[in-house]
Amino acid sequence: MQSANMLLKKIVRSSVLPVAAQHGMKRDLFPLSRTLSLSLCLKQDNSCKPSEKLDLDAWKKVMKSGLQEEVSEMVSEPQDLSGLAAARETLEMWRIAGKLVPENVSEEQLKTFMECPSKSAKKKYLKFLYLKELYKKNDKRKMEEKRERRLEQQEQTSKTDETKKGPFLCLWASTMDKAYNWRAAQSMIFGQPLVFDMSYEKEMSVREVANTVKQLVQSEGCNRRAVDPFHIHFCNFKDDSLYHREFLKHYKEAWGKLLITVTEQCYTEVFPKDKLIYLTADSPKVMKTFDHNKIYIVGSMVDRNIKTGVSLARAKRLGLETAALPLDKYLLWNTGAKNLTLDQMMHILLTLKDTADWKKALEFVPKRKYHGFVAKPVSELKKTLDLVNTLKLGKRQEEVQKQFAKSYPKK
Amino acid sequence: VQPPEKALQSEEWNRLRENFQLPEIFEEVMLNSMIRCNSPTDVAKSLLTHMAKRNGDIAYSVLLKYLTLCVQQGQVSEIRDVYDIMKVRFKILEVGAYNLFIKGLSNSDQWRMALTVLEEAKKIMIPSRTSYESCIKAASCRQEMKLAFELYHEMLAKEVVPTLDVLQSFFDFSRGMKDAELQKELFGILLYLRENQIYPHKTFMRSIKLWFESIPGRNWRGHLTNIKDSGQCPVCTHQLEDSNLTEEEYNNLSERIIRDVIHGTDTFRKTSPQEFEAFQTFVENRLPFDIVIDGLNVSHIKPKRMHCENLLDAINCLAKDNVRLLVLGRKHMLINSSNWKREIMKEMQNKADFFLAENISEDDAFLLYATLRSGKHCKFVTRDFLRDHKACLSDSLTRHLFRKWQRGHQIVLSSMFFSVFSQQPALRYDCVVQTTGDTWHIPYKDVFEEKYSYQVPRKWLCIQQK
């Protein structure tokens, strides 16, 4: 209360109020309509009250005066603007200008930045780094919050100390690991092979390779946890390739102990040709059922710039059978490319293997990509869809048909 | 937020700030809205003063926003002050600041300073095309044409694409000058338009016309006209360059199509080596064709009719005067179905040669190959714009060649309501800026907006020496 009073007094004492008071506008002064009314009176009275005039260029003096010492320092500094140092400097300027630039940039990242061929590539790369940094920071913050909460909880539980006694020792993580590894080892002897074709390195950018490896690591993880895992083969795998280096980054020393087969050979050398089926979204053939006697091949490739037909070309060259998932048959497709990530493929294949239930398997297709499952035949569905669209959206029939024809091309 | 209309005292700013939902970003939001409302600089200054008093420093991003406001209002002395402050305060500046300084200073009598700023900017990056534009305009509007052209050539050397405005300003500001060197430079710009297949818009065209007519002693006269389908200019009866490629260009293009479009990174992506070989021997044995038809594309022209009927119509429509037809399609056309009747297919096969590719191969690539192999007189029929094939070509020069060839050789069939087919004939003349020394013909766009890349302007500026 006192502070509020002080503030009021200050305002009353300040230059504005007397001016306004002269014009009998005291009531209008307070918050809402202040700016308007004030400026009106000030306009009239500025000239006759020079003492109350603002020094508009005061900021310049401040900016210049605070700098004298710094300036002398800077002059002594040699003005070399070359290479990494200069790039770092530029990045810093961009950052304080409010662009999406990360705070910390490593030497390696700086080099990648300088190698970007165009301005837009540079901007994109910086934004990527910036977002990465942001996510990392957020994660860290959340982790710390979590730790604090846990500590609090521990304190509480220690107060009401009551050690639980049960028949099992609490060794979940390592026991589970052992069980999983046991299963994976079994699959290496008796399991159905699943091949990842690692021959797409040339087709991808460095970032795409990194993404691919990340997806592969995830697929391997979910395979290991499955009830009946596949025997994973990485075929066409070159030692010391970009794939290899990325894998080492993820797995570190565990890379040598993974229960999968990694080979430089092509799958055609390892398996009989007539048993292989290459899975690719471009395939004209649609997969009807999951065959337990076949060996499915998945191309380890992330293509961000939609290179159609790359994996189909590979299968054609080797004369292999191809297949695509029956996405159109079971899902009412919405948007997005029909190629799925490797871990989604893995989930789908594992589910198919266990249950042979397409509906269950295709649950792993991202929800944003489809409207819903197709229960009835496509033609009937089309009728209802047409009706709904014409009623709801008022779209013309032709447009709807066009839309439909686009998502369900006649083959 | 509505910015105040008049400069405020620190206390008042403080109060406004406190009332704001997010006091941390108050200054930024306020400055942004000042830029939007084009508030007087005094208001912004008072805010800066307030900030300086509060923090003893003003952030770079804030200075940048203030600078934007000053540039917007052309406050040159303020821009200079900000420049001095920034120069002392920061070791180097970034692109945004340089662009603003150049833009702000080039419009004033301090324009030479914009040039020094441009020099500084070059040290850390390639300046943007708009920065070059400002400097070139500033120089040329003070009749410093030599300097302007120096900048222009520097820009081209750095592969910065000049804006049409820059090119136009050259013509605007050299009106009436007699300098031979300058004339050569301006003709150079016209040739630049020719090489890059750029079409000037209407106002630009007018500048060109006025410049030509203003050259003393030369007696150039310009007329606006439409070129006849025969390629003859109605004003000066001059025959325009025809759309045929030269022998060398032609060979170059066919080589590139085979290399980039058909084979690409992997022959298997579009066809297979066996199939391509089979196709090659097929074509070589029956050369030359007069018209190559994209069978599947044509068969979809009228959606309500059977596919094979559409194709038959098209073949009947084109098969006059003993022309040799080649129809490209896929193998599934041979299978008797509701859309492809065997009898009609047989009938068509008597009238034209058919090559049917595998169902998963791309027939467009074959279309291009067969047409190019048949020679310059051969045309092809499809409604496809062939954009994806153009995109496969690796450099812009070949892409231009492709477009030119396409304009001269593609026949587009379109279905009218009742008539059978109407043909949009291939253009016989080439649609680029062209000259014979004493005449110039310049195609131009009616509107400023980009036309579709497959369309060419039909309006021309004809300039001749009397």
Question: Which residues in A lie closer than 8 A to residue B8 (C-beta atoms)?
Answer: 35, 38, 54
CA distance A316 to B465: 63
Q: Does pLDDT of A45 surpass 80?
A: no
Confidence of residue A377 (pLDDT cuts 50, 70, 90): low
Burial of B395 (0-12, 13-18, 19+ CB in 10 A): exposed
Neighbours of B347 (CB within 10 A): 14
DSSP A385-404: HHHHHHHHT---HHHHHHHH
Interval B145-203: pLDDT, tens: 999 999 999 999 998 999 999 999 999 998 888 888 999 999 999 999 998 888 999 99
DSSP code of residue B3? P
Q: Does B239 touch chain A (CB under 8 A)?
A: no
The answer to whether the Cβ–Cβ distance between B89 and A16 falls below 8 Å is no
Q: Does pLDDT of B457 surpass 90?
A: no
Which positions ≥6 away from B298 have C-beta within 8 Å? Answer: B310, B311, B314, B381, B382, B383, B413
Question: Which residues in A lie closer than 8 A to residue B48 (C-beta atoms)?
Answer: 59
For B:383-422, CB contacts with A below 8 A are none
Query: Angle at CA B39, nearest 5°, toward B33 and B40?
Result: 150
CATH of B247-422, one of 3.90.245.10, 3.40.1050.10, 3.90.1150.10, 3.40.50.11980: 3.40.50.11980
Q: What is the pLDDT of residue B446?
A: 82
Does the predicted model carry a pTM greater than 0.90? no
| Least-confidence region, from A66-70, A261-265, B248-252, B287-291 | A66-70
Q: Does B181 touch chain A (CB under 8 A)?
A: no
B321, HSE (Cβ side, Cα atoms, 13 Å): 3
The answer to whether the Cβ–Cβ distance between A89 and B92 falls below 8 Å is yes
- Residue B365 φ/ψ region, left for φ over 0, alpha for ψ in the -120 to 50 degree band, beta for the rest: alpha
Confidence of residue A44 (pLDDT cuts 50, 70, 90): very low
Q: What is the pLDDT of residue A219?
A: 94
Q: Which of B9, B93, B266 is the closest to A54 by Cβ? A: B9
Confidence of residue B303 (pLDDT cuts 50, 70, 90): confident
Q: Does pLDDT of B77 surpass 80?
A: yes
User: What residue of A is the nearest CA neighbor of B5?
Assistant: A39
Residue listed under structure tokens 């499955």:
A226
Residue A366 Cα distances to A230, A392, B362, B438, B439, angstroms: 23, 26, 31, 66, 63
The answer to whether the Cβ–Cβ distance between A93 and B60 falls below 8 Å is yes
Q: What is the pLDDT of residue B4?
A: 85
- Of B319 and B115, the structure prediction assigns the larger pLDDT to B115
Q: Mean pLDDT, to the nearest integer, of A159-182?
A: 74
Q: What is the pLDDT of residue A174?
A: 83
Phi then psi for B306, rounded to 5 degrees?
-65, 145
Q: What is the ipTM of this complex?
A: 0.79
Question: Which residues in A lie closer than 8 A to residue B56 (C-beta atoms)?
Answer: 62, 66
Whole-number percent of chain B with pLDDT over 90: 28
CA distance B361 to B358: 5
Shortest distance, CA B193 to any CA of chain A (angstroms): 24
CA distance B175 to B172: 6
Q: Does B90 touch chain A (CB under 8 A)?
A: yes
Q: Does B19 touch chain A (CB under 8 A)?
A: yes
For an interface test with A, give the residue of B5, B18, B274 to mutate (most A CBs within 10 A). B5
Q: Does pLDDT of B418 surpass 70?
A: no
Question: Which residues in A lie closer than 8 A to residue B92 (C-beta atoms)?
Answer: 81, 86, 89-90, 93
Q: Which of A57, A90, A308 is the closest to B94 by Cβ? A: A90
Confidence of residue A405 (pLDDT cuts 50, 70, 90): low
CB of B110 within 8 A of CB of B80? yes
Q: Mean pLDDT, to the nearest integer, of A294-310?
A: 88
Shortest distance, CA A363 to any CA of chain B (angstroms): 29
Question: Which residues in A lie closer than 8 A to residue B359 (C-beta atoms)?
Answer: 284
Q: Where are the alpha helices (DSSP H) in A163-309?
A: 172-190, 206-225, 242-251, 267-270
B208: nearest Cα among B450, B429, B447, B462: B462
Shortest distance, CA A35 to any CA of chain B (angstroms): 6
Shortest distance, CA A223 to any CA of chain B (angstroms): 31
Interval A10-40: pLDDT, tens: 544 444 444 444 444 444 444 443 444 444 4
Query: Angle at CA B166, nearest 5°, toward B165 and B171?
Result: 95
The CATH architecture annotation of domain A191-373 reads 3-Layer(aba) Sandwich (3.40)
For an interface test with A, give the residue of B24, B25, B49, B160 to mutate (most A CBs within 10 A). B49
A49: nearest Cα among A27, A20, A24, A26: A20
Q: What is the pLDDT of residue A399?
A: 60
Q: What is the pLDDT of residue A30?
A: 43
Shortest distance, CA B116 to any CA of chain A (angstroms): 17
Q: What is the pLDDT of residue B270?
A: 84
Interval B210-262: pLDDT, tens: 999 998 888 899 999 988 878 888 888 888 888 788 889 889 998 888 888 88
Interval B48-57: pLDDT, tens: 888 888 887 8
Residue listed under structure tokens 């930024």:
B28
B464 three-class SS: strand
Mean of per-residue pLDDT scores for chain B = 86
Q: What is the pLDDT of residue A167?
A: 66
B402, HSE (Cβ side, Cα atoms, 13 Å): 26
Q: Does pLDDT of A75 surpass 50?
A: no
Would strands B325-330 and A370-373 be described as parallel, antiparallel, or unpaired? unpaired
DSSP A114-172: HH-SSHHHHHHHHHHHHHHHHHHHHHHHHHHHHHHHHHHHHHHHHHT------SS-S-H
CA distance B387 to A178: 56
Hey, what amino acid is at A395?
A: K
User: What residue of A is the nearest CA neighbor of B128?
Assistant: A119
Confidence of residue B102 (pLDDT cuts 50, 70, 90): very high
User: What residue of A is the nearest CA neighbor of B16?
Assistant: A31
The answer to whether the Cβ–Cβ distance between B42 and A36 falls below 8 Å is no
CB of B254 within 8 A of CB of B260? no
CB of B233 within 8 A of CB of B225? yes
Residue A278 Cα distances to A100, A133, A324, A339, angstroms: 42, 38, 9, 14
User: What residue of A is the nearest CA neighbor of B2?
Assistant: A35
User: What residue of B is the nearest CA neighbor of A43?
Assistant: B6
Interval A319-357: pLDDT, tens: 999 999 999 888 888 888 888 999 999 999 999 999 888
Q: Where do the structural domains in chain A lie, given as residue ranges?
A: 98-155, 191-373, 376-405
Confidence of residue B139 (pLDDT cuts 50, 70, 90): very high
Q: Does B119 touch chain A (CB under 8 A)?
A: no
User: What residue of B is the nearest CA neighbor of A34?
Assistant: B4
CA distance B281 to B339: 30
Whole-number percent of chain B with pLDDT over 70: 95
Question: Which residues in B lie closer than 8 A to residue A34 (C-beta atoms)?
Answer: 12
The dihedral formed by the CA atoms of A199, A201, A202 and A206, expressed in degrees to the nearest 10: 170
Residue listed under structure tokens 């990056």:
B125
Q: Which of B85, B124, B270 is the closest to A64 by Cβ? A: B85
Which of A227-236, B9-18, B368-377, B451-460 is modeled with the greatest confidence? A227-236
Specify which residues A124 forms β-bridges with: none
Question: Which residues in B lie closer than 8 A to residue A312 (C-beta atoms)?
Answer: 268-269, 360
For an interface test with A, give the residue of B88, B99, B307, B340 to mutate (most A CBs within 10 A). B88
Q: What is the pLDDT of residue A28?
A: 44
Confidence of residue B343 (pLDDT cuts 50, 70, 90): confident
Question: Which residues in B lie closer than 8 A to residue A84 (C-beta atoms)?
Answer: none
Q: Does B109 touch chain A (CB under 8 A)?
A: no
Q: Where do the structural domains in chain B lie, given as residue ranges?
A: 163-243+437-465, 247-422
Question: Which residues in A lie closer than 8 A to residue B126 (C-beta atoms)?
Answer: 119
Interval A99-144: pLDDT, tens: 899 988 898 899 988 888 888 899 999 999 999 999 999 999 999 9
Tokens of B293: 């038809």
Q: Does pLDDT of A389 surpass 80?
A: no
Shortest distance, CA A226 to any CA of chain B (angstroms): 35
CA distance A282 to A338: 9
Q: Does B31 touch chain A (CB under 8 A)?
A: no
Q: What is the pLDDT of residue A82?
A: 60
DSSP code of residue A305? T
For A:55-84, CB contacts with B below 8 A are 55-60, 62-64, 66-67, 71, 74, 77, 79, 81
Tokens of B382: 């499809």
Q: Does B332 touch chain A (CB under 8 A)?
A: no
Q: Does B269 touch chain A (CB under 8 A)?
A: yes
User: What residue of B is the nearest CA neighbor of A63?
Assistant: B57
Q: What is the pLDDT of residue A139?
A: 96
Task: Give the number of A-B residue pairs with CB atoms closer than 8 Å.
Answer: 124
E strand or H helix that includes residue B95: helix B95-106
